[in-house]
Structure 1
Protein backbone atom coordinates (compact mmCIF):
# COMPACT_ATOMS: atom_id res chain seq x y z
CA UNK A 1 0.00 0.00 0.00
CA UNK A 2 1.38 3.39 -0.95
CA UNK A 3 1.51 5.67 2.07
CA UNK A 4 1.68 9.44 2.00
CA UNK A 5 4.98 10.24 3.68
CA UNK A 6 5.70 13.87 2.78
CA UNK A 7 4.22 16.96 1.22
CA UNK A 8 5.88 19.54 -1.02
CA UNK A 9 4.74 23.14 -1.17
CA UNK A 10 5.85 24.77 -4.42
CA UNK A 11 6.26 28.53 -4.47
CA UNK A 12 8.01 31.12 -6.56
CA UNK A 13 9.12 32.68 -3.26
CA UNK A 14 9.99 29.73 -0.99
CA UNK A 15 11.69 31.88 1.65
CA UNK A 16 8.52 33.94 2.08
CA UNK A 17 6.38 30.79 2.20
CA UNK A 18 8.71 29.25 4.81
CA UNK A 19 8.49 32.39 6.94
CA UNK A 20 4.68 32.37 6.73
CA UNK A 21 4.27 28.72 7.80
CA UNK A 22 6.89 29.08 10.49
CA UNK A 23 5.31 32.21 11.98
CA UNK A 24 1.67 31.14 11.70
CA UNK A 25 1.85 27.41 12.47
CA UNK A 26 5.19 27.06 14.26
CA UNK A 27 6.67 24.77 11.62
CA UNK A 28 10.42 24.27 11.91
CA UNK A 29 12.07 24.99 8.57
CA UNK A 30 15.53 23.57 7.97
CA UNK A 31 18.38 24.83 5.84
CA UNK A 32 17.99 24.64 2.08
CA UNK A 33 19.29 21.49 0.41
CA UNK A 34 19.19 21.60 -3.41
CA UNK A 35 16.70 24.49 -3.05
CA UNK A 36 14.42 22.34 -0.87
CA UNK A 37 13.67 23.49 2.68
CA UNK A 38 12.73 20.50 4.88
CA UNK A 39 9.79 21.19 7.18
CA UNK A 40 8.94 19.61 10.53
CA UNK A 41 5.28 20.15 11.34
CA UNK A 42 5.15 18.75 14.86
CA UNK A 43 6.17 15.96 17.18
CA UNK A 44 6.42 12.44 15.77
CA UNK A 45 4.27 11.07 18.61
CA UNK A 46 1.18 12.79 17.12
CA UNK A 47 -0.56 12.11 13.78
CA UNK A 48 0.75 14.08 10.84
CA UNK A 49 3.47 14.22 8.22
CA UNK A 50 6.44 16.42 7.53
CA UNK A 51 7.34 17.92 4.20
CA UNK A 52 9.20 20.66 2.47
CA UNK A 53 9.02 23.96 0.65
CA UNK A 54 10.85 24.62 -2.60
CA UNK A 55 10.83 26.95 -5.56
CA UNK A 56 8.28 25.53 -7.91
CA UNK A 57 9.53 24.55 -11.36
CA UNK A 58 7.93 25.93 -14.49
CA UNK A 59 5.69 22.86 -14.77
CA UNK A 60 4.48 23.19 -11.13
CA UNK A 61 5.07 26.82 -10.07
CA UNK A 62 2.59 26.90 -7.15
CA UNK A 63 0.71 24.25 -5.23
CA UNK A 64 0.94 21.24 -2.97
CA UNK A 65 2.10 17.82 -4.05
CA UNK A 66 2.03 14.70 -1.87
CA UNK A 67 4.85 12.16 -1.85
CA UNK A 68 3.76 8.52 -1.81
CA UNK A 69 6.22 5.84 -0.68
CA UNK A 70 6.36 2.82 -2.98
CA UNK A 71 8.37 -0.40 -2.96
CA UNK A 72 9.18 -0.34 -6.69
CA UNK A 73 9.14 3.09 -8.32
CA UNK A 74 9.43 1.81 -11.89
CA UNK A 75 6.46 -0.53 -11.43
CA UNK A 76 4.44 2.26 -9.77
CA UNK A 77 5.24 4.65 -12.63
CA UNK A 78 4.15 2.03 -15.16
CA UNK A 79 0.89 1.30 -13.32
CA UNK A 80 0.21 5.02 -12.92
CA UNK A 81 0.65 5.70 -16.63
CA UNK A 82 -1.53 2.71 -17.52
CA UNK A 83 -4.22 4.17 -15.24
CA UNK A 84 -4.08 7.58 -16.97
CA UNK A 85 -1.35 9.53 -15.16
CA UNK A 86 1.24 11.60 -16.98
CA UNK A 87 4.93 11.69 -16.12
CA UNK A 88 6.21 15.16 -15.25
CA UNK A 89 9.70 14.02 -14.16
CA UNK A 90 10.72 10.43 -14.64
CA UNK A 91 12.74 8.49 -12.05
CA UNK A 92 15.50 10.63 -10.52
CA UNK A 93 18.19 9.32 -8.21
CA UNK A 94 19.21 11.01 -4.97
CA UNK A 95 21.54 9.82 -2.21
CA UNK A 96 18.91 7.96 -0.17
CA UNK A 97 15.93 7.57 -2.51
CA UNK A 98 14.50 7.61 -6.03
CA UNK A 99 11.84 10.17 -6.89
CA UNK A 100 9.43 10.76 -9.77
CA UNK A 101 6.72 13.38 -10.31
CA UNK A 102 3.45 12.64 -12.02
CA UNK A 103 0.04 14.19 -12.59
CA UNK A 104 -2.89 11.91 -11.85
CA UNK A 105 -5.79 11.57 -14.34
CA UNK A 106 -7.68 14.49 -12.75
CA UNK A 107 -4.74 16.89 -12.59
CA UNK A 108 -3.34 16.44 -9.06
CA UNK A 109 0.43 16.54 -8.74
CA UNK A 110 1.95 13.55 -6.93
CA UNK A 111 5.43 12.31 -6.19
CA UNK A 112 6.51 8.70 -5.96
CA UNK A 113 9.42 7.98 -3.63
CA UNK A 114 11.32 4.70 -3.24
CA UNK A 115 13.79 4.63 -0.37
CA UNK A 116 17.02 2.76 -1.06
Structure 2
Protein backbone atom coordinates (compact mmCIF):
# COMPACT_ATOMS: atom_id res chain seq x y z
CA UNK A 1 0.00 0.00 0.00
CA UNK A 2 1.43 3.38 -0.98
CA UNK A 3 1.45 6.06 1.70
CA UNK A 4 1.38 9.86 1.68
CA UNK A 5 4.78 10.85 3.08
CA UNK A 6 4.87 14.62 2.65
CA UNK A 7 3.10 17.65 1.24
CA UNK A 8 4.30 20.43 -1.05
CA UNK A 9 2.96 23.96 -0.97
CA UNK A 10 3.69 25.73 -4.26
CA UNK A 11 3.79 29.51 -4.35
CA UNK A 12 5.10 32.29 -6.55
CA UNK A 13 6.28 33.96 -3.30
CA UNK A 14 7.69 31.09 -1.20
CA UNK A 15 9.44 33.47 1.19
CA UNK A 16 6.11 35.10 2.10
CA UNK A 17 4.43 31.68 2.39
CA UNK A 18 7.24 30.43 4.66
CA UNK A 19 6.88 33.48 6.90
CA UNK A 20 3.11 32.92 7.15
CA UNK A 21 3.28 29.22 8.08
CA UNK A 22 6.15 29.78 10.47
CA UNK A 23 4.32 32.62 12.23
CA UNK A 24 0.82 31.11 12.36
CA UNK A 25 1.62 27.43 12.97
CA UNK A 26 5.14 27.65 14.40
CA UNK A 27 6.45 25.36 11.66
CA UNK A 28 10.22 25.19 11.28
CA UNK A 29 11.20 26.24 7.76
CA UNK A 30 14.66 25.37 6.44
CA UNK A 31 16.75 27.59 4.19
CA UNK A 32 15.94 27.09 0.49
CA UNK A 33 17.65 24.36 -1.50
CA UNK A 34 16.71 24.07 -5.22
CA UNK A 35 14.01 26.73 -4.55
CA UNK A 36 12.53 24.28 -2.03
CA UNK A 37 12.29 24.82 1.73
CA UNK A 38 11.85 21.74 3.91
CA UNK A 39 9.09 22.14 6.50
CA UNK A 40 8.98 20.45 9.90
CA UNK A 41 5.44 20.53 11.27
CA UNK A 42 6.03 19.00 14.68
CA UNK A 43 7.57 16.20 16.66
CA UNK A 44 8.05 12.80 15.05
CA UNK A 45 6.46 11.30 18.19
CA UNK A 46 3.01 12.62 17.15
CA UNK A 47 1.00 11.67 14.05
CA UNK A 48 1.47 13.94 11.06
CA UNK A 49 3.71 14.56 8.09
CA UNK A 50 6.34 17.10 7.17
CA UNK A 51 6.55 18.83 3.83
CA UNK A 52 8.01 21.65 1.87
CA UNK A 53 7.36 25.06 0.39
CA UNK A 54 8.51 25.51 -3.19
CA UNK A 55 8.65 28.15 -5.84
CA UNK A 56 5.74 26.93 -7.93
CA UNK A 57 6.74 25.99 -11.48
CA UNK A 58 4.83 27.37 -14.45
CA UNK A 59 2.84 24.13 -14.79
CA UNK A 60 1.72 24.28 -11.12
CA UNK A 61 2.29 27.84 -9.88
CA UNK A 62 0.02 27.68 -6.78
CA UNK A 63 -1.48 24.87 -4.79
CA UNK A 64 -0.90 21.91 -2.56
CA UNK A 65 0.25 18.48 -3.65
CA UNK A 66 0.60 15.34 -1.60
CA UNK A 67 3.61 13.17 -2.33
CA UNK A 68 3.09 9.40 -2.21
CA UNK A 69 5.93 6.96 -1.61
CA UNK A 70 5.95 4.00 -4.02
CA UNK A 71 8.16 0.94 -4.36
CA UNK A 72 8.65 1.38 -8.12
CA UNK A 73 8.21 4.78 -9.72
CA UNK A 74 8.31 3.31 -13.23
CA UNK A 75 5.62 0.71 -12.49
CA UNK A 76 3.39 3.21 -10.69
CA UNK A 77 3.69 5.79 -13.49
CA UNK A 78 2.71 3.16 -16.06
CA UNK A 79 -0.26 2.04 -13.97
CA UNK A 80 -1.34 5.65 -13.34
CA UNK A 81 -1.27 6.54 -17.05
CA UNK A 82 -3.16 3.35 -17.87
CA UNK A 83 -5.76 4.45 -15.30
CA UNK A 84 -6.20 7.91 -16.84
CA UNK A 85 -3.51 10.09 -15.24
CA UNK A 86 -1.31 12.53 -17.16
CA UNK A 87 2.40 12.83 -16.43
CA UNK A 88 3.27 16.44 -15.67
CA UNK A 89 6.96 15.88 -14.87
CA UNK A 90 8.48 12.53 -15.72
CA UNK A 91 10.92 10.68 -13.47
CA UNK A 92 13.63 12.96 -12.08
CA UNK A 93 16.69 11.74 -10.18
CA UNK A 94 17.95 13.38 -7.01
CA UNK A 95 20.68 12.29 -4.59
CA UNK A 96 18.45 10.17 -2.36
CA UNK A 97 15.27 9.60 -4.38
CA UNK A 98 13.41 9.65 -7.69
CA UNK A 99 10.45 12.00 -8.09
CA UNK A 100 7.67 12.50 -10.64
CA UNK A 101 4.52 14.61 -10.81
CA UNK A 102 1.22 13.76 -12.41
CA UNK A 103 -2.37 14.89 -12.62
CA UNK A 104 -4.95 12.27 -11.74
CA UNK A 105 -7.98 11.69 -14.01
CA UNK A 106 -9.88 14.59 -12.40
CA UNK A 107 -6.93 16.99 -12.56
CA UNK A 108 -5.59 16.83 -9.00
CA UNK A 109 -1.82 17.19 -8.83
CA UNK A 110 0.15 14.54 -6.94
CA UNK A 111 3.78 13.62 -6.58
CA UNK A 112 5.34 10.17 -6.52
CA UNK A 113 8.61 9.47 -4.72
CA UNK A 114 10.80 6.37 -4.69
CA UNK A 115 13.67 6.42 -2.21
CA UNK A 116 16.93 4.84 -3.35
Q: TM-score, normalised by structure 2?
A: 0.99
**CA positional deviation for 1:82:** 0.4
Matched residue, 2:104: 104
Provide the secondary structure at the position in 2 that maps to 1:43: coil
Q: Unaligned stretches of 5+ in structure 2?
A: none
Matched residue, 1:50: 50
**CA positional deviation for 1:55:** 0.6
Note the 1:61-80 alignment, pairs <5 A: 61-80=61-80
Matched residue, 2:91: 91
For 1:102 and 1:41, the matched residues in 2 are separated by: 25
For 2:56 and 2:31, the matched residues in 1 are separated by: 17
Matched residue, 1:8: 8
Q: TM-score, normalised by structure 1?
A: 0.99
Output the aligned Cα RMSD.
0.4
**CA positional deviation for 1:73:** 0.2
Runs of 4+ in 1 over 4 A off after TM superposition: none
Write out per-residue CA displacement over residues 44-100 of structure 1, whole angstroms, 9 at most, x where no aligned residue. 011100000011001000000000000000000000000000000000000000000
Provide the secondary structure at the position in 1 that maps to 2:57: coil
For 2:40 and 2:106, the matched residues in 1 are separated by: 29
How many residue pairs get aligned? The number is: 116
For 1:42 and 1:56, the matched residues in 2 are separated by: 24
Provide the secondary structure at the position in 1 that maps to 2:51: strand
For 1:107 and 1:90, the matched residues in 2 are separated by: 16
